[in-house]
Amino acid sequence: MRISTATEDWLGAVTVSGELDAGTAPLLREALDEQLARGIRWLLVDLQGLDFIGSVGIGELIRITKRLGEIGGDLAVVCQRPNVRRVFEISGTSELLHLHQDRAAARRFLEASCRERQTATPREEGEGDGQTE
């Protein structure tokens, strides 16, 4: 599994590719927690390059969604691959995790969420870019 992160203005983005299971989920947890530690409250998780997801990976996304909700933020997931979407749908988590077909739609959702709460924290473009493998 490969993970890259980027902080763009008020928005954090975590891009994941490969296979997300109980063996690799700790890497995702680390990347998501790092975003929160940087003060990010609106987080886009891009799973377009993900080939496989299991229940532990979904559990990580639920955990971070709840934490973001507690601090007045929100999360959106980008996922196109039918086999991965199917696991979200069967588990009944598509709505909770705000699944979108592309990054633009996910971003629009988070922008609307941010405007609604009117508490965005401006950040510098490109701040805190990093990559984990």
Interface residues toward other proteins, by CB under 8 A = 19, 21-23, 52-56, 58-60, 62-63, 66, 82-83, 86-87, 90-93, 96
Cβ nearer to other proteins, comparing 86 with 117: 86
Helix, strand, or coil (residue 52): strand
The single-letter code of the amino acid at 53 is I
Cβ nearer to other proteins, comparing 55 with 119: 55
Give min distance, CB of 21 to other proteins, in A: 5
Nearest residue to 76 via CA among 55, 62, 91, 97? 97
Cβ nearer to other proteins, comparing 81 with 123: 81
Cβ nearer to other proteins, comparing 14 with 58: 58
Give min distance, CB of 25 to other proteins, in A: 8
Output DSSP code: residue 133: -
Please tell me the chain's helix, strand, coil percentages from 3-state DSSP, rounded to the nearest 5. Answer: 40, 30, 30
Give min distance, CB of 129 to other proteins, in A: 27
Give min distance, CB of 59 to other proteins, in A: 5
**Taking a C-beta distance cutoff of 8 angstroms, is the pair 46, 78 a contact?**
yes
Nearest residue to 52 via CA among 1, 103, 89, 91? 1
Cβ nearer to other proteins, comparing 31 with 114: 31
Give min distance, CB of 9 to other proteins, in A: 28
To which residue do tokens 């940087």 refer?
38
